[in-house]
Amino acid sequence: MKPRRVLVVEPDGLLRALVAEWLEQGGLHAVFPSAGSCEASAQLGSIGAIVIDIPSPSHAERVLQTWRRAFPNADIIAASARFPSGACVDDAMAGRLAVAKVLAKPFSRRELFAALGVQGRDS
């Protein structure tokens, strides 16, 4: 069975590479946006989930809406250094943004796998 494809929208190259490595360890396939453009990325085909950096929560809805239009069937995991952490806060923020999960940066491989519903080795 083909691994689930996860679109990683992250401007920081080191974090993008780390997330891609973790996804591969979890049996998923990381793909990246075409030149950062949502419209061009829509040509990537089937995407199961999107892990997307949200630099400013005040602009999150506009950013998320654009990606939702391009990939309407993908689960969206919003990640930001500006999100507070905590289970209750995470659930409330996810509900407010209408995303599957939120991750406060920095996040661990275990947190990423949990957000994606993946069982990882020694995660």
CATH of the domain at 19: 3.40.50.2300
- Please check whether residue 6 is in contact with residue 67, taking contact to mean a CB–CB distance below 8 angstroms: no
Examine residue 43 and state whether it is found in any structural domain, yes or no.
Answer: yes
Examine residue 122 and state whether it is found in any structural domain, yes or no.
Answer: no
Give the per-residue pLDDT at 58. Answer: 85
Give the per-residue pLDDT at 13. Answer: 93
Sorting pLDDT into bands at 50, 70 and 90, what band is 115?
Answer: very high
What is the residue whose two structure tokens read 């939120």?
A: 102
Phi-psi region of 122 (alpha: psi -120 to 50; beta: other; left: phi over 0): left
Structural domain of 94 = 5-116
Q: Which two tokens stand for residue 99?
A: 């995303």
Give the per-residue pLDDT at 37. Answer: 65
Please tell me the total count of domains within the chain.
1
Examine residue 102 and state whether it is found in any structural domain, yes or no.
Answer: yes
Q: Looking at the predicted structure, is the pLDDT value of residue 119 above 90?
A: no
